[in-house]
Structure 1
């Protein structure tokens, strides 16, 4: 059974918050953030709020903390329910969120308490950071069309790489169709133009060629991880793709 808590159209998306007694086949009480695409953007176990329900934030945190043990400053583009930022509290976390309504929902409905949320375009806000000052950059931004194109281009990856510490890690949460997805291949190929170590990970699909969560990681040094920490993600190898360039304005 679902109970709708909020349904509102912002400048950027149609947004819903609801509670349900079943999520992904599990019984309980869950609060869910959802955009118009019907993709779950965030979820909270109301009986265990500290628990991370979705696989991709668990896997991202493992990659980040395993790769950069002395993690200090992390820049996150896309707030959602605030799960990643909440679990990185105690470190220097900066969250860039383009939609003021999402930032408000994260606090009001999902208990986010961080004080470093900046409202605006993530790429523009990242450009304001000092060169080499970030241990991690996470792109977890979605529109109704998917990951915004200006956050997957060669120009953006050059900007991000310049802001990363030499030991730092760049992570993208994206939706794709596995190793044969041409868009995933293009993102990975574009990222390899600026960071020599790139790994791509995918959740297994329920049906062949079905869209599913994928992660792309980039660094200047070999990317290390433990398979059990990836929450069901497995490494895949996309074919070579094309370079994504910024569209002239």
Structure 2
């Protein structure tokens, strides 16, 4: 995704990363889960954040524009399309991980204002220590439950946010309370009239959870599309579906070309095809919400 950047900057980053101890780890005080940072064996300057044995984030410190995980690349396409190229945006990230996407937004849209909401304060401190992001980046981290913190965001943000990215997991599952119409209504209140929401949904054969999430977003926003590997959309294996929603027409014209460009070819599902995908699924309220299905340990394991 573009040039590798200033060689002097790469040298400075490598010098900083040379101090990273081999596979640093921590037990998170909130969840009690173990987290570690492991170097990518094939990409110099790239690292992986692993939580409870599941890879949660991949960061290329040499070039944060390089997105490794399939679903993250697809959310990167949404970042690319939300406004004109290189234009700064206002973004809210629900779930921090190793801040892969905030780094991507900063690298591709300099000057962007970003809010990151994360439950595990010591996870962010751990990442900041071992995989620091640029100090110049306008990234503010807020701590607490995503839904609770959304309700406390400054009133000035309401109606002004260009992009919300929801990638919330407790271990390998998305908690129920961030999957409902009530939760998504809170997100909708943040967005500008043509702002967009991207949601990472993990599901398996049958895709009952993903179809329910698509129906829920359709109820709240109106315009919804899905981006995923065709084998996942056919329900043949467990994986990630990226759902994109807006109150305005989604800018989808460029998406098929972006998806076909690899290295992870995928499909865009929208319009009538999405309605067929949602057939029989109902919007999910707080009273009915359930966590996302738990994958087997072999699905996302190392």
TM-score category, normalised to shorter length:
0.7 to 0.9
Residues 205-220 of structure 1 correspond to what in structure 2 (within 5 A)?
205=231, 209-220=236-247
Q: Residues 229 and 39 from structure 1, CA distance in 2 versus in 1: closer, same or farther, beyond 3 angstroms?
A: farther
Q: Secondary structure at the match of 1:165?
A: strand
**In structure 2, what is the equivalent of residue 187 of structure 1?**
213
Cα distance change, pair 52–153 in 1 and its aligned pair in 2 (3 A): same
Check conservation: 2:74, 2:227, Cα contact below 8 A: no
Conservation of the 8 A alpha-carbon contact between 2:161 and 2:190: yes
Kindly tell me the number of residue pairs found equivalent between the two proteins.
Answer: 240
Inter-CA distance 107–228: structure 2 relative to 1 (3 Å threshold): farther
1:227 maps to what in 2? 256
SS of 1:160's equivalent in the other structure is helix
1:111 is matched with which residue?
A: 132
Distance 1:105 1:84 in 2: 17
Question: Which of the pair is proportionally richer in strand?
Answer: 1
Task: Write the deviation string for residues 38-92 of structure 1: whole angstroms up to 9, x where unpaired.
Answer: 3311113466565322232222122133133355211110110111111222201
The one of 32, 47, 50 equivalent to 2:48 is: 32
RMSD (Å) for aligned C-alpha atoms: 2.5
User: What is the CA–CA distance in structure 1 between the aligned matches of 2:171 and 2:61, rounded to whole Å?
Assistant: 27
Q: Which residue of 2 aligns with 1:126?
A: 150
Correspondence 1:43-82 to 2 at 5 A: 43-45=58-60, 48=63, 51-69=66-84, 71-82=88-99
SS in 1 for 2:68: coil
Shift of 1:220: 1.6
TM-score scaled by length of structure 1: 0.85
Tell me which residue corresponds to 1:14. Answer: 33
Secondary structure in 1 matching 2:173:
coil
Match of residue 160 from structure 1: 187
Larger radius of gyration: 2
Q: What is the distance in 2 between the residues matched to 1:138 and 1:211?
A: 21
Counterpart-to-counterpart distance in 2, 1:49 and 1:191:
30
Q: How far did residue 145 of structure 1 move? A: 5.1
Give the distance between the partners of 2:118 and 2:265, measured in 1 at CA.
Answer: 28
Comparing 184-193 and 45-54, the one that deviates more = 45-54
Please give the alpha-carbon distance, in whole angstroms, between the structure 2 residues aligned to 1:4 and 1:98: 23
Q: 1:135 to 1:45 in 2, by over 3 A?
A: closer
Per-residue CA deviations over 1:130-185 (Å, capped at 9, x if unaligned) read 3312111110111125112211101011111121100100110121126x300001
- Would the alpha carbon gap of residues 145 and 82 (structure 1) be closer, same or farther in structure 2, given more than 3 Å must change? closer
Q: Please state how far the C-alpha of 1:247 moved relative to its aligned partner.
A: 3.9
Matches within 5 A, 1:81-100: 81-89=98-106, 90-100=111-121
Structure 2 gap segments, 5+ residues each:
1-21, 289-302
Structure 1 residues 41 and 72: alpha-carbon distance in aligned structure 2, compared to 1, 3 A threshold: same
Q: Give the Cα separation in 1 of the matches to 2:144 and 2:65.
A: 28
Change (3 A) 1:13 1:138: farther
